Chains A and B, each alone.
Chain A
Amino acid sequence: MFSAVASVLSGIGHRVIDSLWRFGASIRFFFYVLIYSGESFRRLHLTIREIYFTGVLSLIIILVSAFFVGMVLALQGYNTLQRYGSSEAIGVLVALSLVRELGPVVTALLFAGRAGTAITAEIGLMRATEQLSAMEMMAVSPVARVVAPRFWAGVFSMPLLAALFSMVGVLGGYLVAVPLIGVDAGAFWSQMQASVDFREDIVNGVIKSVVFGVACTMIALFEGFDAPPTAEGVSRATTRTVVNSSLAVLGLDFVMTSFMIVA
Chain B
Amino acid sequence: MSDNIVEIDNLSFGYKTRLLHKGINMQFPRGKVVAIMGGSGSGKTTLLRLIGGQLKPSGGEVRVAGQVVHKQDRKGLQKLRRKMGMLFQQGALFTDLSVYENVAFPIREHTDLPESMIRDLVMMKLNAVGLRGARDLKATELSGGMARRVALARAVALDPAIIMYDEPFAGLDPISMAVICNLIRKLNDALGATSIIVTHDVQEVFAFADYVYFVADGVVAAEGAPEDLRKSELPFVHQFVHGEVDGPVPFHYRAPDYRQDILRSANV
Contact = CB atoms under 8 A, between A and B. Distances in A.
Given A138-B105, A140-B106, A129 B92 contact: yes
B78 interface: yes
B89 interface: yes
B86 A134 contact: yes
B110 A139 contact: yes
B85 to A, nearest CB: 8
A130 interface: yes
Contacts of B90: 129-130
Q: Looking at chain B's contact residues, is the secondary structure mostly helix, strand, loop, or mixed? A: mixed
A133 B106 contact: no
Interface residues of A, number: 13
Interface size class of B (residues with CB under 8 A): 20 to 34
Contact of B92 (A134, A139, A140, A145): A134
Interface string A32-50: 0000000000000000000
A52 to B, nearest CB: 13
Query: Which among A138, A140, A145 has the greatest number of chain B C-beta atoms within 10 A?
Result: A138
Give the dominant DSSP class at A's interface.
helix
Given A138-B109, A139-B110, A140-B106, A133 B92 contact: yes
B208 to A, nearest CB: 24
Q: Which of A126, A133, A134, A140 has the most CB of B within 10 A?
A: A134
Contact of A139 (B49, B82, B88, B93): B82
B54 interface: yes
A126 B49 CA distance: 17
B54 A137 contact: yes
A125 B90 CA distance: 13
Contacts of B81: 136-139
A133 B77 CA distance: 14
Most A CB within 10 A of own CB, among B77, B79, B92, B93: B92
Interface string B104-145: 011001100000000000000000000000000000000000
Nearest to B88: A130
A145 B106 CA distance: 12
B34 interface: no
14 contacts: A126-B95, A129-B90, A133-B92, A134-B88, A134-B92, A134-B94, A136-B81, A137-B86, A138-B81, A138-B106, A138-B109, A140-B106, A140-B109, A145-B109
